[in-house]
A and B are shown apart, each in its own frame.
Chain A
Amino acid sequence: MNSPRVRTVFEAADIDRVLTRISHEIIEGAKGAQDLVLLGIQSRGVPLADRIGRRISEFEKVDVPVGALDITMYRDDLRLRPARALETTALPDVGVDGRIVVLVDDVLFSGRTVRAALDALNELGRPRVVRLAVLIDRGHRELPIRADYVGKNLPTSLQESVRVRLAELDGEDAVTLSSGGQSPRGGPNPGGEVA
């Protein structure tokens, strides 16, 4: 086994620029900020949704409702590990019915998290449209799911792991790629890696 090599692929300024671009793309796709609701997937999707929400509010001069979605209860691998602690699901007061909902997550990997999020959303209401925004798309999809807004496509091998660090949770903004030493999916992932 070789020891893990960690490489920073995205720095704070890169994350900033990319979020600004995604914010513009969301406004463009929704033809304004009316009816928009941003939902961050726990845990690192939540601060990302907040940041995008703040940018859109600034650009369009309207308040964009932002919420948080915990998908733990909808995961398809619950029976593979001990029961897990839950995180907060907080919907904005306006709800999601008839809205354009943008799900926000840090890394798109197998697509299973997004599938679980769609199931969770289904029981919270009936959005008009659901879109997906991710900071990093690392490939290796296991389900027919794709993102509408991607910060960066990052080709990876299954032996590598992608880690997103955000100032709100980790004290700094960075995306790192480490190779070797980490077990691929199915094994214990390091914090921050999301499929």
Chain B
Amino acid sequence: MKRHLLSAADLSHSDALLVLDTAAQLARVADRPVKKLPTLRGRTVVNLFFEDSTRTRISFEAAAKRLSADVINFSAKGSSVSKGESLKDTALTLEAMGADAVVVRHGSSGAPHRLASSGWIGGSVVNAGDGTHEHPTQALLDAFTLRENLVGGEGDLTGKKVTIVGDVLHSRVARSNVLLLSTLGADVTLVAPPTLLPIGVETWPCKVSYDLDPVIPESDAVMMLRVQLERMTDSYFPTAREYSRRYGLDNHRMSLLSERSIVMHPGPMNRGMEITADVADSKRSVIVEQVANGVSVRMAVLYLLLGGNAPAATPINEPSEGI
């Protein structure tokens, strides 16, 4: 594995499988009376959040704490950033505090890359969402959830059909998922109105459709993206009602899904917009499972990056090594 996790494209096929396999083992820690491992004792993980987030920050915090790392939470609100401190000065401060890993969320695409390549900090940088660019750990937890539900929790996702629906233009989740899921062998189809697809989407390793209904029956999983109203600086569709009529997932569309297909959503949901409450709370919905898997996958990422004197090498071929 590379030292930083900035993009889902940083993960090779064997890297991705290593993260998922490690996450599967770490998921069991949640069932134990002592939900803690001593592995990262003495390591410091900084959550550097320039943008609001509930589940991602809490998820990273829980993951780091279950591995016994020290966690420092930094949010831009109420910090010197609101007094105009630059990314560089913030980074130098963190470096002086001895951060072994910096988990960064930033409103600008490329901020984690800048942090990782600038030489300002010596630790690993983990991208927790940058602008409309990438969110690799979300893609990993989605891949983990897909693997658990569709192929019995082992191997990759070869031949599984995953449909990602909605606001692809503003979605870092969609981009990371397309990259990671195609690495793992899944067939990904993006469904969105033409106005909500980014320029250059034809070069992505996936299919694109403007129409949801023909894609639904052959999907093994449907991932609904949040309509990111806070990023909507223009009018991308006539009315919310028209959007949910054409691209929303309701009971009727869900009934067209094959029997074993699942419904996913990265959260937070706009109930009634891209997904109806009935669907979100139905048996097919694995949305709560996605959140739980997020902690396991982030534990795996932190462990593989920080658990040794170097990030894990792949493929690991010395399983029976003794101390």
Contact = CB atoms under 8 A, between A and B. Distances in A.
B309 A80 contact: yes
A52 to B, nearest CB: 19
Contact of B37 (A73, A82, A83): A73
A87 B28 CA distance: 12
Contacts of A89: 25, 28
Given A78-B39, A194-B320, 15 more contacts: A44-B320, A74-B37, A80-B308, A83-B307, A84-B316, A89-B25, A113-B322, A113-B323, A116-B323, A123-B34, A188-B318, A188-B321, A189-B322, A194-B323, A195-B323
A85 B18 contact: yes
A113 B320 CA distance: 12
Interface of A: 43-44, 70, 73-89, 107, 109-110, 112-113, 116, 119, 123-125, 169, 188-189, 191-195
A85 B38 contact: no
B303 A43 contact: no
A193 B322 contact: yes
B222 interface: no
A160 B26 CA distance: 35
A70 B29 CA distance: 12
A86 B26 contact: yes
Given A124-B32, A194-B320, A85 B311 contact: no
B21 interface: yes
B322 A85 contact: no
Contact of A119 (B22, B28, B38, B320): B38
Given A82-B308, A82-B309, A84-B307, A123 B36 contact: yes
B25 A83 contact: no
A85 B313 CA distance: 9
Given A123-B36, A125-B33, A192 B308 contact: no
18 contacts: A78-B308, A81-B309, A82-B309, A82-B311, A82-B312, A82-B313, A83-B305, A84-B307, A85-B18, A87-B319, A113-B323, A123-B32, A123-B37, A124-B32, A124-B34, A191-B319, A194-B320, A194-B323
B288 interface: no
